Structure formats: C-alpha cells, structure tokens
C-alpha cells in the first residue's frame, strides 16, 4: 500500500534535515499516529477516509516536527506538504479540462460527490442553496478537519486544508468560477463553497 503523502513527506524532511535524529523522529511520528488512531476507532468508514488521508497524519507530523523546530516552522512545513499535494491535484484537473467542453462537468461532479464523500456520515453538515443548472453552492457548517484539529489542540492546522481547496480549484478555466469567502478553519461560522459556470 502506498504510504500517505504527508507521512512520506515527513520522512523525507527528517532524513534531509535531521539525519542523526531521523530514526527517533520516525518512531515518534508512528507512536503519535497510532495514539491518534486509537482515539478514533469508532469513526465511520466515511470519516475514516478523511482521518487517514490527511487529518491524523497532518496532526502527527505537526506535533512531531515541533520537537525539533519552532511551532510556526512546523506549521509551515506541514502546510507545504498539503499545498504540494494540492498543486499536483490541480495539474491533473487542468489536464482534464483541456478536453473541449469538459469545463461543464466540475459543478455537476461536486453536486453528486459532496453528499457521498462529504456527507453527515463522514462528519460534515451542509446547507444547500443550489446544486444544479451549472451551479454548486453550499455552506458547510460542520467539518471533521476543523473539529478534529480543535479536538487535538491544533486549530491552527486546519487552514492548511482550507488553503489546499483554493490551490486546487481556483481559476481552473475561464468559464469556471470558484468562490469562497469564509471557512470554519479560518474562524468563520461556515465554509461558503461555490463552484459554477461563468455567468450563472
């Protein structure tokens, strides 16, 4: 199984920057991740997807890096891991959108996939405003990324994940508009997501 991208990036960081401590730092990371997992054993399969893919590895890496660097630097390091991953995803999306007319699809896909991947069973809650006619507009009022970071005392980590959305989806195509002014992770009351065809 391919190693989680945050864990892989962490191991590369400590190998390059802290080679004499790398064994101990990797052991500490694994311990922290195991402890975090044990605290979320009862989470649903849908929520586990988010916990395992980004949230728990992010928290474990952030906590472990703080043992060898200032807190702000540790935060920026993990932010870099998440941002790099988002840039990679963006490149893939941009390649797909080069296909003529395919720019129509993202709002439709977001409308269909959000309830499945970002629904209540995964720990999210949303108010829908429009999810058809070339417009996907919802307010996310509950988010496991935000809730889990707060639960484990690192709310400042959540904006890393918020920023990754903006990297991946903003300004993808002249006929697609990504719009979001607020996020839970940045201290607002909701994440006001909107992806629509231009002119809608």
For residue 16, count other CB atoms closer than 10 A to its CB. 9
What is the full per-residue pLDDT of the chain (200 aa) written as tens digits? 568 999 999 999 999 999 999 999 999 999 999 999 999 999 999 999 999 999 999 999 999 999 999 999 999 999 999 999 999 999 999 999 999 989 999 999 999 999 999 999 999 999 999 999 999 999 999 999 999 999 999 999 999 999 999 999 999 999 999 999 999 999 999 999 999 999 88
Residue-wise burial string across 108-134, b where 16 or more C-beta atoms lie within 10 A, e elsewhere: bebbeebbeebeeebbbebeeeebeeb
Label residue 165 exposed, middle or buried (CB < 10 Å: 0-12, 13-18, 19+).
Answer: middle
């Amino acid at each position: 199984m391919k190693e989680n991208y945050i864990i892989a990036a962490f191991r590369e960081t400590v190998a390059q920057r802290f080679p004499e401590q790398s064994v101990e730092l990797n052991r500490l990371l694994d311990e922290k991740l195991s402890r975090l997992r044990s605290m979320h054993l009862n989470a649903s399969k849908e929520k586990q997807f988010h916990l395992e893919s980004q949230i728990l590895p992010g928290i474990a890496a952030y906590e472990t890096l703080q043992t060898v660097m200032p807190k702000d630097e540790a935060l920026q390091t993990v932010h870099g891991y998440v941002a790099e991953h988002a840039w990679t995803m963006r490149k893939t999306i941009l390649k797909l959108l080069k296909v003529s007319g395919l720019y129509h699809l993202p709002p439709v896909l977001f409308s269909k996939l959000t309830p499945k991947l970002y629904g209540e069973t995964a720990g999210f809650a949303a108010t829908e405003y429009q999810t058809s006619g070339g417009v996907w507009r919802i307010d996310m009022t509950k988010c496991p990324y935000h809730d889990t970071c707060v639960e484990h005392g690192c709310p400042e980590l959540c904006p890393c994940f918020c920023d990754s959305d903006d990297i991946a989806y903003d300004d993808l195509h002249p006929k697609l508009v990504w719009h979001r002014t607020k996020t839970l992770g940045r201290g607002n009351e909701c994440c006001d997501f909107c992806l629509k065809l231009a002119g809608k």
